[in-house]
Amino acid sequence: MKIKNKQKIFLSILIVVMFFVFLFIIIKNSNNKIIAEIQPSRLPEKDCEWRRFENKNINFYFLYQYCNSNSDVLYFKQDGNRIMEVLQDKNNKKDSYPVVEIFNRNPKETTSETFKKIFISKLDNYSSKHCIVVPSLISGNSEEVVRLTIKPDREYSQQLANAQKATSDVPNPPCGNYGYLPDSESYFEFHRNNPNMFIWVLYGQDQYPLFDEESFRF
């Protein structure tokens, strides 16, 4: 009788172990499928090639251009929750700046609540009342992707335009460092299938950045 009970316990443990092994294989294959599906949306620049950036700990992937000319090397690396674009010259001098920042969010919060807690609440009193969340002008190619930006409302925009007439200097970002940039483009990207995180993307001034803005997966 005791032997039969031990056999039942052993079989139960074996079934549980096999279940988790099977589950791990499914998840791993699913992640590999996601990676395999990432295809560049355009050709690379001269002296560049598309490479895949991976952070498997949080299942975050995208394509970037690795460029190696006669004098400079351009590549991307992760620093904390930021993805840095790095330019290295022939003397190994490096210049870098963040182009993507990864944020966690409470899946129970609305998008509006997330923006208010993380960004709007950090602004001064006037800006917090007159900086609004609107769809980004850089729209995505997927219905699963939502791109938003923080910009001044009409009243604030008119005030900024009047102030800019008196100077040729580039003004400070009126809605914080993550909001509207007078000399560049940036936006927040949310994926409908992942309510636990979102990213901030510095698109830049050029027609296209040196990463593929259509390739983000998380």
More confident residue, 6 or 209: 209
- Is the pLDDT assigned to residue 124 strictly greater than 70? yes
Amino acid, res. 190: F
Least-confidence region, from 23-32, 69-78, 177-186, 206-215? 23-32
Both tokens assigned to 184: 């560049």
Write the secondary structure of 96-124 as one string of H (helix), E (strand) and C (coil): EEEEEEEEECCCCCCHHHHHHHHCHHHCC
Q: Is the pLDDT of residue 46 over 50?
A: yes
Instruction: Report the candidate in 7, 8, 102 with the shortest Cα–Cα distance to residue 58.
Output: 102
Residue 141: predicted pLDDT: 85
- Residue bearing tokens 């296209």: 208
Categorize the per-residue pLDDT at 107 as very low, low, confident or very high, splitting at 50, 70 and 90.
Answer: very high
What percentage of the chain has pLDDT greater than the value 90?
A: 69
Tell me what the mean pLDDT of segment 171-188 comes to.
Answer: 93
Answer whether residue 25 shows pLDDT above 60.
no
Judged against a pLDDT cut of 90, whether residue 214 lies above it is answered with yes
Higher-scoring residue by pLDDT: 22, 132: 132
* Cα angle, residue 79 at apex, residues 103 and 30 outer, rounded to 5°: 60
Work out the average pLDDT over 29-51. 76
Spatial neighbors of 192 by CB under 8 A, at least 6 apart, are 144, 145, 146
Q: Is 156 helix (H, G, I), strand (E, B) or coil?
A: helix
Q: According to the model, what pLDDT value does residue 9 have? A: 63
What residues does each domain of the chain span?
1-37, 38-204
Measured between alpha carbons, how far is 187 from 99 in angstroms, rounded to an integer?
Answer: 11
Secondary structure of residue 141 in the 3-state scheme: coil
pTM, two decimals, is 0.80
The mean per-residue pLDDT over the stretch 177-201 comes to 95
